[in-house]
């Protein structure tokens, strides 16, 4: 059974959704029977009492690796402190105590660092934004360094769907395809859509959900993502209306509490769009709308496909930029600044780029065509109808 389509929403803005909803005390026009998401199979499977450690590191240390306590004098000068740091000692900043691993490990680390060839300096891609406060040029490098560091903590298992008993990857694709249309009708920010998908996957990895409540998970995830990303977020009654009143306001609010507690309120997470905006800038394509539109189209197609979860978000974004450069004959296709900021080589992203090209090739004839139709509009430069590029050395198409 298909989801209720959001075509009833005006294209003007999300406020008209609420205006179109019947007011209390006024008899609403006759509506078709309520539609339930993917059938009516009952409530969420099992009580919500499992614990999910998403985003938290294992703090246990292996036995036998206790750090030594080393005393550093208060009057130690810069040379002494540099020598201590080279030996593996970390000064606590209060004048005396520092922690280090064994001296043999510290010496090995110093020896290894000397053997490694020095890397070229990271290309500065933010020099043009020094006067732009919104670009946060002083902090953006640290922000994306943090994103790269925590990305593995927030990745979902590419096989998590095998633990679900009542839903499958096709149902997930139907849900996300419907949410793409809802997102478009509400005119929400791109960040909201990608955070919505991230929340859905992380929640489904932790909780077993029935097909009857899968759409409830979807609208609640978009509600949470909208509150986080949007200036003017849609209200709960907008999502009640857009889902054809399949769920009540109370159900959505209850699911919101369950979802946020399950995810431990971890919403500041990297998404494919986070890395994509940075890598487009590193490739010198952030101001080329067609390149950005084509790369975003590929990433949205990947968002729909469960099999693409085997690739990290940063890998997905780098491969999308590489494929977009290839399709639009930009040279170099994988520039040095992109390699340094993404942390991948051209050969490293090639398998993911091939998979993206395959998604592009099959999109026109796919059952779920919302993303294909969305990017066939002129505002997105009609990138969905572009020819799939050949990227393999022997010019074999994807």
Contact partners, residue 132, CB within 8 Å, separation at least 6: none
Maximum CA extent, the chain: 83
pLDDT at 192: 96
322 contacts 294 by C-beta, under 8 angstroms: no
Contact partners, residue 21, CB within 8 Å, separation at least 6: 237, 241
pLDDT at 180: 96
pLDDT at 14: 46
In this chain, the answer to whether the domains covering 158-270 and 272-385 adopt an identical fold is yes
Other CB atoms within 10 Å distance of the CB of residue 79: 8
Q: What is the DSSP letter of 126?
A: -
Please tell me the distance from the alpha carbon of residue 131 to that of residue 70, in angstroms, as a whole number. Answer: 45
Segment 134-175, tens digit of pLDDT? 777 788 888 888 999 999 999 999 999 999 999 999 999 999
Segment 53-79, tens digit of pLDDT? 444 444 444 444 444 443 434 434 443
Domain 158-270 adopts which CATH fold?
Cyclin A; domain 1 (1.10.472)
pLDDT at 2: 54
Alpha helices in the chain (DSSP H): 15-20, 78-86, 103-115, 140-150, 169-186, 190-206, 214-229, 236-242, 249-262, 272-282, 289-304, 313-327, 336-342, 346-362, 370-374
Domain 272-385 adopts which CATH fold?
Cyclin A; domain 1 (1.10.472)
Segment 379-396, tens digit of pLDDT? 999 999 988 876 544 334
Ordered by start, the domain boundaries in the chain are 68-109, 158-270, 272-385
Beta bridge partners of 99: 69, 90
pTM: 0.69
pLDDT under 70 in the chain at which residues?
Answer: 1-120, 390-398
Other CB atoms within 10 Å distance of the CB of residue 27: 6
């Amino acid at each position: 059974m298909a989801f209720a389509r959001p075509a009833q929403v005006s294209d003007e803005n999300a406020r008209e959704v609420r205006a179109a909803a019947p007011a209390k005390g006024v008899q609403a026009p006759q509506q078709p029977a309520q539609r339930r998401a993917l059938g009516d199979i009952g409530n969420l499977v099992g009580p919500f009492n499992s614990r999910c450690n998403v985003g938290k590191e294992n703090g246990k240390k292996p036995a036998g690796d206790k750090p030594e306590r080393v005393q550093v004098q208060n009057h130690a000068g810069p040379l002494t402190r540099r020598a201590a740091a080279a030996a593996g000692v970390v000064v606590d900043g209060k004048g005396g105590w520092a922690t280090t691993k064994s001296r043999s490990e510290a010496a090995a680390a110093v020896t290894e660092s000397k053997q490694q060839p020095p890397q070229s300096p990271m290309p500065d891609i933010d020099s043009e934004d020094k006067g732009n406060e919104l670009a946060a040029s002083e902090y953006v490098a640290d922000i994306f360094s943090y994103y790269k560091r925590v990305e593995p903590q927030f990745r979902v298992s590419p096989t998590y769907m095998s633990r679900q008993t009542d839903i499958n990857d096709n149902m997930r694709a139907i849900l996300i395809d419907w949410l793409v249309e809802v997102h478009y009708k509400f005119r929400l920010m791109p960040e909201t859509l990608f955070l919505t998908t991230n929340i859905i996957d992380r929640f489904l990895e932790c909780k077993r959900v029935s097909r009857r409540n899968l759409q409830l998970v979807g609208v609640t995830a978009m509600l949470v993502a909208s509150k986080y990303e949007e200036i003017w977020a849609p209200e709960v009654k907008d999502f009640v209306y857009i889902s054809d009143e399949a769920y009540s306001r109370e159900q959505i609010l209850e699911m919101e509490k369950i979802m946020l507690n399950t995810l431990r309120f971890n919403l500041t997470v990297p998404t494919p769009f986070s890395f994509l905006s940075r890598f487009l800038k590193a490739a010198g394509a952030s101001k080329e709308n067609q390149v950005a539109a084509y790369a975003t189209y590929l990433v949205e197609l990947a968002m729909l496909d469960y099999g693409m979860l085997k690739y990290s978000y940063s890998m997905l974004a780098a491969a999308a930029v590489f494929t977009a450069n290839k399709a639009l004959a930009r040279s170099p296709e994988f520039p040095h600044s992109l390699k340094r900021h993404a942390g991948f080589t051209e050969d490293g992203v090639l398998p993911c780029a091939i998979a993206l090209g395959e998604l592009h090739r099959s999109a026109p004839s796919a059952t779920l065509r919302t993303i294909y139709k969305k990017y066939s509009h002129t505002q997105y430069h009609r990138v969905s109808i572009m020819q799939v590029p050949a990227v393999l050395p022997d010019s074999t198409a994807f």
